[in-house]
Amino acid sequence: MGSFGPAAESLRLSDHYRRLTDDELIGIAQDTSDLTEMAQQALAIEISQRKLNVAKQEMLPLPPPPEFENEVDDPYAEDRQLVEITTVWSLPDALKLQSLLDQAEIPFFMGQEKATRAEAVTANFRNGVPVEVMQVGVPWARQAMLLYEPADEPVTRDSHAEEDLAIRCPKCHSEDVIFEHLDAAAGDQKFVWTCAACGNQWEDEGVETES
């Protein structure tokens, strides 16, 4: 993923701490004086998600589970809003998707408890567990989802969420599109796409709109 400001740095830090062991996280939490405010926040969220015990006097108070959609006066709040990319119906499928998102370095949240690892989900997968990523990571999540082949989806499953996430070429309507890069030169972030079928290139805000 390319670097395009604090939103990308927040994603990078979230992924970094998620890959550490419990002992490594606790060790870092014992002295956060050298960490940036953003790093402290990402560390605290990961420790909170894992429900690790860290002496209160040794680290900053842990924040509640992330409620990015409720943040106020934050220019990157929209980038951090959570978007549902799919629903998983078994732990094996959740682990498959987790592996793909990990490889793409995309932090994700599963279920109502916003679990950051599939093994931490407490809900019954038979009822469907939603998977969310930050808005800023949706284009890369779409690319990772191209390799996702679930084995346990119910036959009657509503696939509306995945259809909404599909990116289609506005010229030939093919879904065989490639995410090129993020263009922030004009001030507003624009996602640049190329259609592998007809060669058309266009920009959008990363969310498909009805034509």
Question: Which of these ranges, 142-156, 158-172, 189-203, has the smallest mean pLDDT?
Answer: 158-172
- Average pLDDT estimate for 144-172: 72
Residue-level pLDDT at 3: 46
On whether the CB atoms of residues 118 and 95 are closer than 8 A, the answer is: yes
Write the DSSP assignment of 157-203 as a string of letters: ---HHHHHH----TTT--S-EEEEEEE-TTSS-EEEEEETTT--EEE
- Average pLDDT estimate for 122-138: 90
Pairing of strands 108-110, 201-204: unpaired
To the nearest whole number, what is the mean pLDDT of the chain? 77
What is d(CA 31, CA 26) in angstroms, rounded to the nearest whole number? 9
* Tens digits of residue pLDDT in 180-193: 777 766 556 677 88
What per-residue string of b and e applies to 177-209 under the rule 16 or more CB within 10 Å gives b? bebeebeeeeeebbbebebeeeeeeeeeebeee
* Tens digits of residue pLDDT in 52-100: 877 643 444 545 545 544 445 666 677 778 999 999 999 999 999 999 9
